Amino acid sequence: SSRTMSLLSQLEKINLDSVLGEADNARYVTSKILHLVQSQEKTRKEMTSKGSTGIEVILSTLEVKLLCGYGYIASFHFIIGLCGGRRASVLVTKGGTQILLQLLLTASKDSPPNEELMVLLHTLLAKIGPKDKKIGMKARINGALNISLNLVKQNLQNHKLILPCLQVLRVYSTNSVNAVSLGKNGVVELMFKIIGPFSKKNTSLMKVALDTLAALLKSKTNARRAVDRGYVQVLLTIYVDWHSHDSRHRYMLIRKGVLQCIKNVTNIKLGRKAFIDANGMKILYNTSQECLAVRTLDPLVNTSSLIMRKCFPKNRLPLPTIKSAFHFQLPVIPASGPVAQLYNLPPD
């Protein structure tokens, strides 16, 4: 609508103005745009239509004014949410990741940091992070890795805050260099403070923590660290507990998450040995047998099978020689026969 275009035009003018007081105007105009997006389907479609610069203008305002206030970023977050995830890729191409990381760095310097603001920034980063293949490298260069990690360390009982932080750490951990760096700073041990035995509370937190741990354990350094601390036995114990309590199979994804961690830690020889020593073969065989009757649990059976096949000790065949016990006469090919003629044809 012309009203939306007018407001976006005002924002663009504010971006060009260096007056500090214009930040308040930027917040006011953005809140007006938010109201229109919330109340009018037409405006929502207009903001996401091909060729529209609406999201880019708002992002530009965030960059130029460095508005690290909860109100403005909340409006920004809601506009992105209402306009759909497809704009996330636009945010990435326009440098949105870099801007959000810079804002996170700025906000972390407050003592204590604004909790609502931290939740919001991490939620946004978790939303656009998977669209940015270089987010791991950008976060490391900006010094943002430890911000999220320290927030989790210092707020283990604050599930509202650490959930988006873990979602961001999960994205960061897909980068192998980040996984090693985070491992050195105690993130593997930290994940084992969050995951635990069966509970119907905070299952979403458990799922994200397991996904993060699985990503971290792809690093051989982190896998060795987990083995050294006896976490293979812990993972098997957790898996059995969830398996025995989840009689209605509502938490299959959590059970699969635990198996994924075991699968990654057994990629190394030490991990496979620890798995065998912890009676892992018998545990996974028995739990898999109990899952066979339920088709929806096939992913658990398949992952368990992969782990068992990988860890099963390799035994030599009980034969004195690899030579066959049977002897066969090789066929004789006549020199002038059709087969010999075929072999003697010149190449094309």
Nearest Cα to 267, choosing from 299, 207, 227, 235? Answer: 227
- Of residues 3, 9, 11, the one with CA closest to residue 37: 3
Residues making up the chain, counted from first to last = 348
DSSP 8-state class, residue 219 = S
Average pLDDT for 172-189: 95
CA 3 to CA 10: how far, in whole Å? Answer: 11
Better pLDDT: 238 or 104 = 238
pLDDT at 64: 61
Rounded CA-CA distance 256/264 in Å is 12
C-alpha–C-alpha distance, residues 53 and 41, integer Å: 17
Question: pLDDT category, 83, cuts 50, 70, 90?
Answer: very low
Task: Give me the numbers of helices (H) and strands (E) for the chain, helices first please.
Answer: 21, 0
Q: How many CA atoms, within 13 angstroms, populate the side-chain half-sphere of residue 243? A: 23
Cα distances (angstroms) measured from residue 164 to each of 59, 110, 201, 316? 21, 19, 17, 50
List, in sequence order, the alpha helices (H) in 21-114: 22-39, 41-48, 54-65, 70-83, 88-93, 96-108
**pLDDT for the residue 154:** 94
For residue 74, the tally of other CB atoms under 10 A from its CB is: 16
**Nearest by Cα to 87 from 39, 38, 128:** 128
Lowest mean pLDDT among 6-10, 175-179, 304-308: 6-10
What pLDDT does residue 48 have? 60
Calpha distance 232→278 (Å, rounded): 8
Mean pLDDT over all residues of the chain? 85
Q: What is the pLDDT of residues 218-238, one digit of tens each?
A: 999 999 999 999 999 999 999
Q: Per-residue pLDDT averaged across 176-202, rounded?
A: 94
Considering only residues 119 and 10, tell me which one the structure prediction assigns the higher pLDDT.
119
pLDDT higher than threshold 80 for residue 63? no
How confident is the model at residue 112, as a pLDDT? 85
Q: 29-38, 179-188, 326-335: which range is least confident on average?
A: 29-38
Compute the Cα dihedral for 98, 102, 108, 113 and give only its sign: negative
- Look at residue 203 and tell me whether its pLDDT is greater than 80: yes
Confidence category of residue 17, pLDDT binned at 50, 70, 90? low
AA letter at 299 = P
Between residues 192 and 36, the one the model is more confident about: 192
Rounded to an integer, the average pLDDT of 119-129 is: 88
Residues 210 and 258 sit within 8 Å (Cβ to Cβ): yes
- 346 phi, psi to nearest 5 deg: -65, 150
Q: Is 62 exposed, middle or buried (0-12, 13-18, 19+ CB in 10 A)?
A: buried
Whether pLDDT at 35 is above 80: no
pLDDT, tens only, 283-304: 999 999 999 999 999 999 999 9
pLDDT score for 71:
54
Of the candidate ranges 40-54, 175-189, 331-345, the one whose mean pLDDT is the lowest: 40-54
Q: Residue 68 — pLDDT band, cuts 50, 70, 90?
A: low
Owner of token pair 């049977």: 326
DSSP label at residue 86: G
- What's the chain's Rg over C-alpha atoms? 28
* CA–CA distance, 173 with 340 (Å, rounded to integer): 61
Buried b (16+ CB within 10 A) or exposed e, 212-225: bbbbbbbbbbbbbb
Kindly tell me if the per-residue pLDDT of 26 is higher than 60.
Answer: yes
**Any idea what DSSP says for residue 218?**
T
Residue 80 has a pLDDT of 60
